[in-house]
Structure 1
Amino acid sequence: MAPPLPWREKISYGLADMGFNFYWANIATFLMMFYTDVYGISAAAAASMMFVIKLVNAFTDPLIGAVADRTSTRFGKFRPYLVWMALPLAGAGVLTYTTPDLGPGGRLAWAYATYLLMMVCYTCINIPYNALSGVMSAEPQERSTINGLRFIFAFAGSMLVTAATPAMVAFLGAGDEQRGWQLTMLAWGVFASLLFAATFFNTRERIAPPARQQTRVRDDLRDLAGNRPWMVLFFLALIIMVSITLRTSTAAYYFKYVVARPGLLASFLPAYMAAAAAGAALTPLMTRFVDKKTLMIALMSLTALLSAAFFLVGPEQIKAMYALQIALGLVLGPKSPLAFSMYADTADYNEWRNGRRATAMTFAAATFSQKLGTALAVAVIGAVFTQLGYVPNAAQSGGSQAGIVWLMSIIPALFALLAVAVMFFYNLDSRTLRQVQADLAARKAAL
């Protein structure tokens, strides 16, 4: 058994995910409303644009994964991307939240171009970062710990962004909301770049593909298509992302138009993130006693129940809203570190079955499904808003308010139940995984 990773390295790995959430949390929480209420794009046009870009960007994930798997530098395959792409991502983020004085067609074209640029830059650094967790250690429990710490930082970053961004926009803009958003994204980009650099300098890659491995991209894709546990995780990630994105993206509209207290958003979403960080911290402990498949089924079942319960909460029941939000954070917090440690396990499973390892492709195709899920969620929100007559910055009709409530409760609950059903097909249990690890170790010892 390999010695445990030093805590400095585990913590340093997690720092980068805080940086990623300086972008991701802004996109998930504020970008739709930025486009509709600040930049002046209709809800239908913004939703369509975000759906198209997410769809296009999803297909870049396997490409970046293939390139990263075939990268070879003295710093490793994946770590260099943390410094190569940090500043391009920061610049793209600023451009996305920049509002040039253009006509309706020009504004929409600018939104398409800058959002696509930001998402491609994000992919170029995030895919190698995800893969890095699969090559730092071969021990399943160490992977659970690495990813548990990672998502503590991720949720902390999301909590910081959702709490601080509105105030930063107001302060940096000094009354000019458009300039405030631009400068706020510049600040987040600088902070994120510093965290990416810290991860680069303090982590190491220890697992390499089999000696003399030569594979084509289509071989990698064929291996994944025949990898049953990975296929289950692919659909699981898509479904869970739909459920989470529906609630996160709708929350700003919920507090603005249903509760009529938009200021609560600055504490409502951070309350979820703080609870999720606590849940993520408990993941390594839970996986010591509960099989990963069983744990995931239990978590998503509770998610469905809690999401559905939100439908019964009236706009004046603020304490009940927060109680359910915190409970959802505790339940969903372990989901992300659990899933990412399972992706690393499926990379081992693929090497065990086929004699080939494509770590970055494994994680890239996983984020592909997450982006499809996000795109689908945005499309659902846009369709509901358009159908029910959403009008920006105006009192909403009864139908529009009801649609917002459904997007916060019943619809995410149904997707969570679908995730439970999918997880029953996962067949890489703890006993099988131990055999996979033992066989791989024996093969390497024989070389």
Structure 2
Amino acid sequence: MLPPLKKTAILNYSIGDFGINLNFQLIGFFLAYFYTDVFGISPGHVAGLLLAARAWDAFNDPVMGFIADKTRTKWGRFRPYVIFGAIPLNLMLVACFYVPDISIELKVVYAYVTYILHGMVFTAVGLPYSSISAVMTQDQQERALISTLRMFFAVIIAMSIVNIGTRPFLDRFYPESEANGFFALALLYAIISSVVLIYVGIKSKERLDFTPEKYKLMDIFRIIFSNKMLLILGSAMFFNTCIWVIANSVALYYFKYILGNTNLYSLFFGYMLPANVVGVALTPMLTKMYGKRNVFILGSAIVVVANLVRHFLPGDAFQTFTAVSMLASTAMMFCSCCQWGMVPDTVEYGHWKTGIRSEGIPFAFFSFAFKAGMALGGAFSMLVLQKSGYVANTELNDASRTAVIWLYNIVPAGCSVACIVALIFYKLDGERFSQILADLETRKK
């Protein structure tokens, strides 16, 4: 039986989400807008790029999980990837926000190469980083605390900095050139992210040392498809990611073209900060009382209601719009904290079900589900804009206005409903999980 995790150990690990998310949030919130309105390629090209990248991830992510499971070094199985992958990951971030002086055709090629390479390196760092949580502790409450603190650094700190700070940074220092502004900001975030991730890789500890499992590359499919809880949670994660990506990929379009004021964007997300803090702060208490799965469902239900209310508000009701959005943002924190706290539990379930202990493959599957949600959600948004006749930096036609409004409100509500349906079938909270751990201990003896 391992001693309880020290608070400093949890902090030293969880701060990695600040480093990861400075990189990830800039890509997630601004790359689609950057590609269409700054880089100069069409929404259709962006949609194709996102889909191509995720098609490659269907192969890349499981293989990376397999490699991570087989890794054995003096630093551990997962930490070396965080330490030595930090700088390459952030160099690719800078490359994604660079505008070369070349033809549109070559720009499309450049975007494909840099974005796909970024995704590959992100997997090589993010997957092992997330896997560390499964070898730090098997205690559900400690895992819930780790997940909550990770969301604090990911959302309260990193996402707030990116959302609240990006637009003022561009307007203040690069009012004449968004291209130069995005490049400078990517470089700044890359430096900070690299330092944080290297620190985390050095300071984190892998406390659970399991005997290496001897399984073949083709066993990946058995590990995944025999783990029912993994598939269910992966489905919920996919839809939950779609909510975030679809809404946020059109958020800047919404403020620029529907509300007609991009300055409101930073103000709006400034209000989301205290809402996110409330969500993260309440999650540990709620999960202790009701379980992670039930709190995840509660958060998804609130998101459905809030998005429907927001959709039918009059255009000049910005204060009410913001208040309802704060409620939705709090609820999304319930969902995000719970989903990442539930992921390590599926590792134990898979071990119990198949007899094969693998952290890398389950986390690779969740990495793919997460990135598939990003890709399909983002591609769907861009394709809808393309079909609506969207033209960058001009007044929107009626079809494009309707598309932006529906993408911001109604489609995410539908994804939340799908998330709830998936979670109804998830049965890995409380007593059942404790029994699985007890069974695994008995097998060892």
Under TM normalisation by the shorter chain, which class is it? over 0.9
| Inter-CA distance 277–440: structure 2 relative to 1 (3 Å threshold) | farther
Separation in 2 of the partners of 1:291 and 1:182? 43
1:219 paired residue number: 219
1:193 paired residue number: 194
Q: Which moved more, 1:299-308 or 1:277-286?
A: 277-286
- Maintained 8 Å contact 2:224/2:231: yes
Secondary structure of 2:15's counterpart equals helix
1:301 paired residue number: 301
Secondary structure of 1:334's counterpart equals helix
Q: Quote the offset at 1:99 in angstroms.
A: 0.6
- Maintained 8 Å contact 1:153/1:277: no
2:438 paired residue number: 438
1:31 paired residue number: 31
Separation in 2 of the partners of 1:131 and 1:182? 31
Secondary structure of 2:394's counterpart equals coil
1:180 paired residue number: 181
2:327 paired residue number: 327
2:158 paired residue number: 157
Q: Are 2:247 and 1:247 aligned?
A: yes
Question: Which residue identity is paired with 1:146?
Answer: I
Q: Quote the offset at 1:271 in angstroms.
A: 3.2
Q: Quote the offset at 1:185 in angstroms.
A: 0.6
Q: Which moved more, 1:53-62 or 1:217-226?
A: 53-62
Separation in 2 of the partners of 1:23 and 1:33? 16
Q: Quote the offset at 1:170 in angstroms.
A: 4.1
- Maintained 8 Å contact 2:348/2:436: yes
| Inter-CA distance 312–208: structure 2 relative to 1 (3 Å threshold) | same
Q: Which moved more, 1:261-270 or 1:51-60?
A: 51-60
Separation in 1 of the partners of 2:367 and 2:271? 26
Secondary structure of 1:101's counterpart equals coil
- Maintained 8 Å contact 2:36/2:392: yes
- Maintained 8 Å contact 1:281/1:334: no
Q: Quote the offset at 1:429 in angstroms.
A: 3.0
Q: Are 2:259 and 1:259 aligned?
A: yes
1:169 paired residue number: 170
Q: Quote the offset at 1:177 in angstroms.
A: 2.4
> Runs of 5+ in structure 2 lacking a partner?
none
| Inter-CA distance 23–443: structure 2 relative to 1 (3 Å threshold) | same
Separation in 2 of the partners of 1:205 and 1:126? 16
Separation in 2 of the partners of 1:174 and 1:399? 30
Q: Quote the offset at 1:58 in angstroms.
A: 4.4
Instruction: State the identity as a percent.
Output: 29
- Maintained 8 Å contact 1:22/1:157: yes
Alignment of 1:337-356 (within 5 A): 337-356=337-356
- Maintained 8 Å contact 1:9/1:203: yes
Q: Deviations over 1:359-402 (max 9, x none)?
A: 12111101101111111112221221122111100111122111
Q: Deviations over 1:180-226 (max 9, x none)?
A: 211211110010011112212221101233x3531113223312201
Q: Quote the offset at 1:172 in angstroms.
A: 5.0
- Maintained 8 Å contact 1:147/1:338: yes
Q: Quote the offset at 1:425 in angstroms.
A: 1.2
1:132 paired residue number: 132
Secondary structure of 2:428's counterpart equals coil
| Inter-CA distance 182–345: structure 2 relative to 1 (3 Å threshold) | same
Secondary structure of 2:79's counterpart equals coil
Q: Quote the offset at 1:348 in angstroms.
A: 0.5
1:121 paired residue number: 121
Q: Which moved more, 1:278-287 or 1:183-192?
A: 278-287
| Inter-CA distance 220–208: structure 2 relative to 1 (3 Å threshold) | farther
2:311 paired residue number: 311
- Maintained 8 Å contact 1:275/1:330: yes
Question: Which residue identity is paired with 1:177?
Answer: E
Separation in 2 of the partners of 1:66 and 1:269? 39
Secondary structure of 1:428's counterpart equals coil
- Maintained 8 Å contact 1:238/1:370: yes
2:48 paired residue number: 48
| Inter-CA distance 304–285: structure 2 relative to 1 (3 Å threshold) | same
Q: Quote the offset at 1:282 in angstroms.
A: 2.4
Q: Quote the offset at 1:283 in angstroms.
A: 2.0
- Maintained 8 Å contact 2:236/2:422: yes
What is the TM-score when the length of structure 2 is the normalising length?
0.96
1:406 paired residue number: 406
- Maintained 8 Å contact 2:92/2:118: yes
Alignment of 1:250-289 (within 5 A): 250-289=250-289
Q: Are 2:63 and 1:83 aligned?
A: no
| Inter-CA distance 118–273: structure 2 relative to 1 (3 Å threshold) | farther
Separation in 2 of the partners of 1:320 and 1:55? 40
Separation in 1 of the partners of 2:19 and 2:124? 14
Separation in 1 of the partners of 2:441 and 2:120? 36
Secondary structure of 1:54's counterpart equals helix
Q: Quote the offset at 1:174 in angstroms.
A: 6.3
Secondary structure of 1:204's counterpart equals coil
Question: Which residue identity is paired with 1:54?
Answer: R
Q: Quote the offset at 1:309 in angstroms.
A: 1.3
Secondary structure of 1:349's counterpart equals helix
- Maintained 8 Å contact 2:23/2:90: no
Separation in 1 of the partners of 2:281 and 2:194? 25
Question: Which residue identity is paired with 1:239?
Answer: F
Q: Which moved more, 1:47-56 or 1:163-172?
A: 163-172
Q: Deviations over 1:216-275 (max 9, x none)?
A: 132233122011111101111111111221111111000000010111111323433542
- Maintained 8 Å contact 1:58/1:367: no
Separation in 2 of the partners of 1:82 and 1:289? 34
Separation in 2 of the partners of 1:69 and 1:217? 11
Question: Which residue identity is paired with 1:141?
Answer: Q
- Maintained 8 Å contact 1:145/1:283: no
Q: Deviations over 1:128-154 (max 9, x none)?
A: 011011110111110000111011000
